[in-house]
Amino acid sequence: SQQGEEDPQALSIQEGENATMNCSYKTSINNLQWYRQNSGRGLVHLILIRSNEREKHSGRLRVTLDTSKKSSSLLITASRAADTASYFCATDAEDTGRRALTFGSGTRLQVQP
């Protein structure tokens, strides 16, 4: 499977609820990033967390990183209909001796108004 696998693949919640998405990866990393993509458009950077950080906040977003478990989670609090999008984690995975930004398969979030 790919470096950076998100879980769940799809999530449907009501407006106002919290949404949690998880990302697991395989190799060591220097940092992990989360991006959002609205239907077939470009990605928007949400947050970058470095390997020596455990938690980071940005507005309604909270990201945690557990390097011992090779996993990260993205929490969106008090979700809004406008949060409906696909969310991807990306890691600087090493591949054939070089590090490249590797994206997971994404979580599709649907927030019902």
Binding site for another protein (CB under 8 A): 2, 30-31, 33, 35, 40-45, 48, 88, 92, 95, 98-106
DSSP state of 87: E
Minimum Å gap between C-beta 28 and another protein is 13
Cβ-based nearer residue to another protein, 59 or 113: 59
Cβ-based nearer residue to another protein, 2 or 18: 2
Minimum Å gap between C-beta 78 and another protein is 24
Minimum Å gap between C-beta 47 and another protein is 9
Minimum Å gap between C-beta 96 and another protein is 8
Q: How far apart are CA 107 and CA 90, in angstroms?
A: 12
Cβ-based nearer residue to another protein, 66 or 95: 95
